[in-house]
Amino acid sequence: MCKQQEIDALTQFTESLPRDSYLRPWLEDVLPQVRADIRNDFPVAPSLTITRHDCQELVKHTRIQCHAETSKAIEDAKKRRAEADQYYGDVVTRAKERLRTVSRELERLV
C-alpha cells in the first residue's frame, strides 16, 4: 500500500463513521496531522496513552531525582551545622581560656 492509498483509506474510514460517533470527531481532528506525517515520512504522533505514560515516567524520575537532591542537601546542611557547632565551641573554649588568663593576670597585678 502506498502513502496515498493509506491516506485515502483512513479518510474513507473516517467519513464512513456516523457524525455523532465518538471516534469521528477525534479522527477528523487528527487527520490533517496524520496525513502530513505520512507524506513527510514521520511516524504518527504517539497516542494519548503513550504520552500519559511517558509523562508519568518523567514525573516519577523527577521525583526520585528531587528526593535524592533533597536528601543530599539535608545531609550537607547537617554536616555544615556540625562544623559550625564545632567552630563555635572552639571559639567559646578559646575565649574562656583567654578570660582565665586575663583573670589570672589581673589577680597577680592586684
63 vs 59: CA distance, rounded Å: 6
Per-residue pLDDT of the chain (110 residues), as tens digits, is 899 999 999 999 999 999 999 999 999 998 998 888 888 876 666 676 788 888 999 999 999 999 999 999 999 999 999 999 999 999 999 999 999 999 999 999 87
Angle, vertex CA 91, rays to CA 86 and CA 97, nearest 5 = 125
94 vs 108: CA distance, rounded Å: 21
The domain segmentation of the chain, as residue ranges, is 1-45, 54-110
Is the pTM above the cut of 0.85?
no
Please, is 32 exposed, middle or buried when counting C-beta atoms within 10 Å of its C-beta (0-12, 13-18, 19+)? exposed
